[in-house]
């Protein structure tokens, strides 16, 4: 009996999307391959040899995106050039090298999958110095507006969600044959949830006869409550399921609303596929995770808030695909919901059909299959570095104050 394939999934906790994609892939391997593989999911930024400021960048992302959105957009735009991305690439090649070396040499993977872009450069340096490259897959977790840093590594396969991103990757110099449009992985339960809407609502204790909106919040969704208040006083035939995303303060505020429509308030849920199955549309901001999951579930979206940068592209993608709307105020949220529900919900049904056509509920399985094929192909041998190239790499390490180890 062959040895199980060893699958290393690298991720980070800068936002929810990278971790969620990693978890979806791990679950897909478990369902599809079972005992034929051993899967390890590792946050490379939490490794003891990762610089402290890089570790802190995960929590800083949440704080800056929430409290200084304009500053976040400025830094995003300034860094989103090929030149700056190459500089970041060189910095990460050095600063994360020791962490990546320890993780890879400790686990001895047959394939590496990264749902976070900063690990690609140090992995490439490691493979070069060891003269053997482990097959590597990078999974992009934004739909349209994608930072150049995703395109500066050297993976065997770059998984992108849309043709737009494929064009960006090729334009940035990634070889076309290494870029595939597969989608952002969502939890296999979304594809596997077979209960109908009525059955799902019965399981959740919801009304069967009312249109259900699913409001998904967190610390970064600033306008969710005011939009819900508008719908709560609208007299529309609605029921609401509001998820606070683990934000205790938001959960308490949502729970204290004087609800005039049937409503369920959840702190944190581990059965989002079931909630989506019972819902008719989603109220949220256009983060990569909620957008991808909603499309996979065939749910149109009303975006009530967004972080400038990649989320703007996500929203535009959904709206241009006829699967959602942007509401800049509670009044616009109310107007959108009214139009969608008018005439027996004809427009809402059209939006739902468009969402389903954009969704890729089996992306996690498709990515797992491609990664499996690379694992079976085995590592690629590398030629030793020429003296000049070795000297350049040594100079790069020393310029960051790091010791160079061949």
302-361: per-residue pLDDT in tens? 999 887 777 888 999 999 999 999 999 999 999 999 999 999 999 999 999 999 999 999
Start-to-end Cα distance in the chain: 36
Q: What is the pLDDT of residue 111?
A: 97
Choose among 361, 316, 324: nearest CA to 144. 316
Q: Please state the rounded mean pLDDT for residues 65-91.
A: 56
Q: Are 284 and 175 in contact (CB under 8 A)?
A: no
Superfamily of 5-186+361-399 according to CATH: Glycogen Phosphorylase B; (3.40.50.2000)
Written as six digits, the tokens of 305 are 């808030």
| pLDDT (0 to 100) of residue 2 | 81
The pLDDT of residue 74 is 44
Tokens, residue 7: 């699958």
Q: What confidence score (pLDDT) does residue 247 get? A: 84
Q: Give the pLDDT score at 404.
A: 57
Q: In which band, very low, low, confident or very high, does the pLDDT at 245 lie, cut at 50, 70 and 90?
A: confident
Checking if the pLDDT of 129 tops 60, the result is yes
Res 56: pLDDT: 82
For 271-308, write each residue's pLDDT tens digit.
899 999 999 999 998 988 899 999 999 999 999 988 77
Question: What's the pLDDT score for residue 71?
Answer: 44
Residue 118: Cβ-neighbour burial (10 angstroms; 0-12, 13-18, 19+):
buried
pLDDT band at 32 (very low <50, low <70, confident <90, very high): very high
* Homologous superfamily of the 194-358 domain (CATH): Glycogen Phosphorylase B; (3.40.50.2000)
Tokens of 73: 């957009």
On the question of a common fold for 5-186+361-399 and 194-358, the answer reads yes
User: Quick one: the chain helix, strand, coil %, rounded to 5?
Assistant: 55, 15, 30
pLDDT band with cut points at 50, 70 and 90 for residue 218: confident
pTM listed for this prediction: 0.85
Q: What is the DSSP letter of 209?
A: S
Strand ranges, E, within 66-166: 111-114, 132-133, 136-139, 157-160
Tell me, what's the pLDDT at 240?
A: 96
Question: Among 6-20, 66-80, 254-268, whose mean pLDDT is lowest?
Answer: 66-80
pLDDT of residue 86: 64
- For residue 147, CA distances in Å to 115, 138, 167, 169, 276 come to 14, 14, 13, 10, 29
Q: Where are the domains of the chain?
A: 5-186+361-399, 194-358
Q: Which residues pair with 136 in a beta bridge?
A: 112
Q: In the block, which residue shows the tokens 């969502």?
A: 186
Q: Using CB atoms within 10 Å of the CB of residue 367, give its burial: 0 to 12 exposed, 13 to 18 middle, 19+ buried.
A: buried
Neighbours of 11 (CB within 10 A): 27
- Residue 68 pLDDT > 50: no
Q: Looking at residues 165-186, what average pLDDT do you find? A: 94
Q: Are 6 and 108 in contact (CB under 8 A)?
A: yes
Rounded CA separation 317/389 (Å): 42
- Percentage of the chain exceeding pLDDT 90: 60
In three-state secondary structure terms, 278 is: helix
- The structure tokens listed for 274 are 């079931």
Among 50-54, 164-168, 254-258, the minimum mean pLDDT is found in: 50-54
Calculate the average pLDDT of the chain: 87
With cut-offs at 50, 70 and 90, classify the pLDDT of residue 157. very high
Element spanning 93, H or E = helix 82-95
Band (383; pLDDT cuts 50, 70, 90): low
Q: What is the mean pLDDT of residues 245-274?
A: 90
CA nearest neighbour of 382 among 128, 123, 135, 154: 128
Element (H, E) at 54: helix 52-67
């Amino acid at each position: 009996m062959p040895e199980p394939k060893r699958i290393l999934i690298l991720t980070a906790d800068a936002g929810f999307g990278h971790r969620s994609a990693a978890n979806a892939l791990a679950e897909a391997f478990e369902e599809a391959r079972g005992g034929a593989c051993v899967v390890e999911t590792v946050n490379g930024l939490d490794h003891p040899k990762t610089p402290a400021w890089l570790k802190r960048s995960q929590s800083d992302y949440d704080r800056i995106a929430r409290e200084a959105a304009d500053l976040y957009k400025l830094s995003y735009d300034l860094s989103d050039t090929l030149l700056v991305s190459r500089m970041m690439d060189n910095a990460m090649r050095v600063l994360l090298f020791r962490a990546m070396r320890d993780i890879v040499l400790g686990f001895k993977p047959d394939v590496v999958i990264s749902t976070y872009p900063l690990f690609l450069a140090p992995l490439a340096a490691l493979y070069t110095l060891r003269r053997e490259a482990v097959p590597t897959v990078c999974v992009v977790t934004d739909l349209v507006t994608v930072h150049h840093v995703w395109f500066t590594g050297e993976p065997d396969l770059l998984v992108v969600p849309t043709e737009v991103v494929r064009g960006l990757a090729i334009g940035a110099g990634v070889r076309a044959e290494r870029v595939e449009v597969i989608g952002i992985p969502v939890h296999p339960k979304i594809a596997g949830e077979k209960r109908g809407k009525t059955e799902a609502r019965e399981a959740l204790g919801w009304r069967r006869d009312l249109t259900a909106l699913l409001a998904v919040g967190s610390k970064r969704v600033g306008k969710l409550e005011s939009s819900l208040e508008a719908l709560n006083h609208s007299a529309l035939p609605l029921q609401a399921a509001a998820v606070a995303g683990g934000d205790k303060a938001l959960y308490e505020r949502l729970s204290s609303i004087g609800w005039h429509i049937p409503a369920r308030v959840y702190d944190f849920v581990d059965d989002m596929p079931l909630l989506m199955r019972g819902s008719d549309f989603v109220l949220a901001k256009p983060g990569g995770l909620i957008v991808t999951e909603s499309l996979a579930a065939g749910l149109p979206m009303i975006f009530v808030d967004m972080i400038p940068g990649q989320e703007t592209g996500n929203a535009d993608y959904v709206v241009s695909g006829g699967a959602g709307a942007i509401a800049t105020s509670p009044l616009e949220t109310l107007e959108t919901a009214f139009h969608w529900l008018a005439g027996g919900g004809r427009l809402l049904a059209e939006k739902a059909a468009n969402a389903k056509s954009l969704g890729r509920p089996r992306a996690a399985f498709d990515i797992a299959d491609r990664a499996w094929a690379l694992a079976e192909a085995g590592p690629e041998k590398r030629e030793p570095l020429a003296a000049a190239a070795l000297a350049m790499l040594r100079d790069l390490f020393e310029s960051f104050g790091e010791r160079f180890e061949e």
